Amino acid sequence: MQIKVNKSVTTQFIFICIWSIGIISGLVITYEYSLGSGEKSQLKSSWPNESSLKFNPGKYNLVMFLHPECTCSKASLFHFKEILSEIKHDNLDSKIIFTMPKEKEKEWINSALVKEVKEAGSIQLIFDQSSEEFKRFDAKTSGQAFLFSPSKDLLFNGGITDSRGHIGYNQGEDFIINTLNKRGLASKDVDVFGCDNLNKTIVNK
């Protein structure tokens, strides 16, 4: 007996299979990207002596470096502000430094991230036009954060999200809050997630 095959149904089936494979592949790539950490700073022990940033010797100093066009750093900024809200004293100096090359200033100066930091009010906002401070702190990835003691000792070096653009519990934020509130220390060996800070032709992820 000869079985007739409906070519239209077969074509649709093949199309659905190819479409499904494409969707699954896209999801896998997106998932792997979100978990891919950036390059962490190799700053070892203390505030860089050559830095022109003002260090406040009477307080802990919390510093984060951001790229104004890195959309996944919105989560890093969320957790930075959350840290400030959780501190039970005023013994903290906080700064956010944006890379801001002159040729990109008009385009980046009004980015969503920059506006959000301005609206926060309590955070010192600094623009690094030459990216020299990024190099001095070896801050290669947007979202790179540092916590220094009042005596300039490096207490934390890493990120404050557990993946790209993810808002939720993370070891970096937990360590910083516990340190500042004198509740004991957790792990400070934390990856940083974000875009390349020094890539001037960055495309939003």
Backbone phi, then psi, for 114, in 5-degree steps? -60, -45
Helix, strand counts (H, E) of the chain: 6, 5
Q: pLDDT digits over 19-38, tens only?
A: 444 444 333 333 333 345 58
Residue 203 clears pLDDT 50, i.e. is over it: no
Q: Indicate the pTM of the whole model.
A: 0.78
Residue the block writes with tokens 């919105």:
74
The token duo for 112 is 């969503």
Phi, psi for residue 67 in degrees, rounded to 5: -95, 125
What is the topology classification, in CATH, of domain 60-180?
Glutaredoxin (3.40.30)
Sheet of strand 154-158: strand arrangement: 124-128, 92-99, 60-66, 144-148, 154-158
DSSP symbols for 51-101: --SPP-TTSEEEEEEE-TT-TTHHHHHHHHHHHHHH-SSS-EEEEEEEE--
pLDDT per residue over 46-102, tens digit each?
Answer: 999 999 999 999 999 999 999 999 998 999 999 999 999 999 888 999 999 999 999
How far is the C-alpha of 189 from the C-alpha of 159, rounded, in Å?
9
Strand, coil or helix: 181: coil
3-state SS assignment for residue 9: helix
